[in-house]
C-alpha cells in the first residue's frame, strides 16, 4: 500500500524537545539579563515558575527536576542580590518546589499516555496491514497504484476499503466506503474485504461475488448501516466488468479523455438490497492497452477547500495522467492535500489500474465507431 511521506512521531518528539530546550534557555538567560541590567526595584523571581512548567511540555520528569533546580538556583541568586528577606526567599523556593513537583507529575502522566498511544498506534498499524494489504505495482496484466489516507491520523485506519486479487477468473478488485466512522466502520470494512477475497476466488460470476458480500452484510449490519462499493473484474482480454453499488462512478481514461463510468442501472449500496428490492447490473466495458481506470471514495471528491469548493478529481486526473500510475496517484494525492489545506476531514482512497502497452507495439488506434458509442454512453 502506498502512503504519503510523513514524519514519524519520534521525529516530531525530537523537534519538540529541541524547541522546548531552546525556549527554556532563552527564558533563563532573559531573566538573568533583565535582572542584571534592568531596574533594581523590579523583581523577576515570580517568572521563574515558568521554567519547570515549560520543561514539562516537552521533557520527562528528570528534565522537569533539572529545570526546577536551575530555577531554584537562579531564584536564590536573585534574592541574595537584592537582599530579599528570608521570608521572601523561603516563599520563592517553596513555590518553585511545588511547581516542579506538580509539573513532574504531569510530565510522568503524559509520558504514560504517550506509551499507551504508541501501543494503540502499533495495533492500528497491524490492523491496517491486515485489512488493507499492500498492493504490488503489478498484478496480472495491470500496473497498479494505491493511495489511502485516514482522516484520523493517529488511528491510521478508517472506514474506506480496497482489495485487489488475482484469481482463476481474472484480476478482481473492490473499492468501497462504509457508512460511519470508528471501530464499527473498521469492522464492517474488514468483513467486506474478507468476504470479497474469498468469493473472488470461488465465484466465476462477478455478480455472484457481490451477492455473497450482500448476504454477509445483511447478517451483520445494523438497521442504518450500509456500504457503497464498486467491484471490477478482468475476465477476458480487452473487457472489463464493473458492478456499482451506490458508489461514485469510476473514471475511465482512454486516449487522454477522462470519462465517468456511470452505471447503466443504478443500484443501492450493499446492505440495502432487501429494502429496495433492486439488484445491481453488470457493465462490460472495452479496456484496451493504454487504458486506465481510477476508483476512489467520496473522501476525495467531497474534499473542500477554504472556499467550500469540492476537489475536481476528473480535472486533476486529466492534468496528471501519465504512463506510470504511481506518479499519477502521488500527484493527485498531493494536489488533494493542497486543496484542503493539508488535512483531510474524511478517509480517502485512490486506486489506479492501467493496462500497459506492450513494448513491441505502438499506442493502440482510436476506438472504433462501435466502441466509441459504448464509451460515449459512459458520460451520459
pTM: 0.67
- The 3-state DSSP composition of the chain as helix, strand, coil percent (nearest 5) reads 50, 20, 30
- Is a pLDDT exceeding 50 seen at residue 380? no
Q: In DSSP terms, which residues pair with 282 in a beta bridge? A: none
Which pLDDT does position 329 carry in this prediction? Answer: 96
**d(C-alpha 115, C-alpha 113), whole Å:** 5
249 and 232 in contact (C-beta within 8 Å)? no
Residue 45 has pLDDT above 80, yes or no: no
Which tens digits make up the pLDDT trace of 47-70? 677 777 777 777 788 888 888 887
- What are the residue ranges spanned by the domains of the chain? 9-125, 135-379
Q: Which residue has the higher pLDDT, 314 or 42?
A: 314
> Can you tell me the mean pLDDT for 171-199?
88
Question: Is residue 374 very low, low, confident or very high in pLDDT (cuts 50, 70, 90)?
Answer: very low
Q: Which fold has domain 135-379?
A: Phosphatase 2c; domain 1 (3.60.40)
**CA atoms lying within 13 Å on the CB side of residue 313:** 26
Q: Indicate the SS3 state at residue 290.
A: coil
> Strand 227-236 and strand 170-178: pairing?
antiparallel
Phi/psi-derived region of residue 239, left when phi > 0, alpha when psi is between -120 and 50, beta in every other case: beta
For 294, the enclosing helix (H) or strand (E) is strand 292-296
CB hemisphere CA count around 56 (13 angstroms): 19
The answer to whether 303 and 297 have CB atoms below 8 angstroms apart is no
How would residue 42 be classed by pLDDT, with cut points 50, 70 and 90? low
Question: Which cell goes with 234?
Answer: 478482468
pLDDT value for 377: 40
∠ CA 122-1-299, rounded to 5° = 90
pLDDT at position 163 over 90: yes
Amino acid at each position: 500500500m502506498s502512503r504519503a511521506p510523513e514524519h514519524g512521531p519520534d521525529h516530531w518528539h525530537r523537534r519538540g524537545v529541541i524547541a522546548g530546550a531552546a525556549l527554556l534557555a532563552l527564558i533563563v538567560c532573559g531573566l538573568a539579563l533583565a535582572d542584571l541590567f534592568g531596574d533594581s526595584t523590579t523583581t523577576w523571581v515570580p517568572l521563574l515558575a515558568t521554567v519547570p512548567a515549560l520543561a514539562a511540555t516537552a521533557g520527562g520528569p528528570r528534565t522537569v527536576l533539572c529545570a526546577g533546580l536551575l530555577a531554584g538556583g537562579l531564584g536564590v541568586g536573585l534574592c541574595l542580590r537584592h537582599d530579599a528577606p528570608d521570608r521572601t526567599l523561603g516563599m520563592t523556593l517553596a513555590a518553585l518546589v511545588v511547581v516542579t513537583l506538580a509539573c513532574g507529575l504531569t510530565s510522568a502522566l503524559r509520558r504514560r499516555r504517550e506509551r499507551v498511544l504508541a501501543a494503540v498506534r502499533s495495533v492500528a498499524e497491524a490492523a491496517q496491514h491486515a485489512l488493507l494489504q499492500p498492493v504490488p505495482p503489478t498484478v496480472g496484466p495491470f500496473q497498479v497504484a494505491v493511495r489511502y489516507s485516514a482522516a484520523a491520523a493517529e488511528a491510521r485506519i478508517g472506514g474506506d476499503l480496497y482489495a485487489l486479487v488475482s484469481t482463476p477468473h481474472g484480476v478482481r478488485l473492490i473499492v468501497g466506503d462504509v457508512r460511519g466512522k470508528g471501530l464499527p466502520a473498521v469492522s464492517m470494512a474488514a468483513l467486506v474485504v474478507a468476504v470479497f477475497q474469498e468469493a473472488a476466488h470461488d465465484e466465476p460470476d462477478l455478480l455472484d461475488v457481490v451477492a455473497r458480500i450482500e448476504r454477509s452484510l445483511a447478517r451483520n449490519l445494523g438497521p442504518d448501516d450500509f456500504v457503497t462499493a464498486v467491484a471490477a473484474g478482468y475476465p477476458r482480454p480487452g473487457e472489463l466488468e464493473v458492478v456499482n453499488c451506490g458508489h461514485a462512478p469510476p473514471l475511465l481514461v482512454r486516449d487522454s479523455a477522462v470519462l465517468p463510468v456511470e452505471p447503466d442501472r443504478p443500484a443501492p449500496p450493499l446492505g440495502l438490497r432487501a429494502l429496495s428490492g433492486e439488484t445491481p447490473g453488470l457493465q462490460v466495458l472495452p479496456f484496451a492497452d493504454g487504458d486506465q481506470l481510477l476508483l476512489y471514495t467520496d473522501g476525495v471528491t467531497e474534499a473542500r477547500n477554504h472556499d467550500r469548493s469540492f476537489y475536481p478529481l476528473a480535472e486533476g486526473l486529466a492534468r496528471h495522467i501519465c504512463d506510470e500510475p504511481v506518479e499519477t496517484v502521488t500527484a493527485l494525492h498531493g494536489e488533494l492535500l493542497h486543496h484542503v489545506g493539508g488535512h483531510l476531514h474524511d478517509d480517502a482512497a485512490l486506486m489506479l489500474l492501467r493496462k500497459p502497452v506492450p513494448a513491441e507495439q505502438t499506442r493502440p488506434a482510436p476506438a472504433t465507431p462501435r466502441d466509441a458509442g459504448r464509451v460515449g454512453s459512459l458520460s451520459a
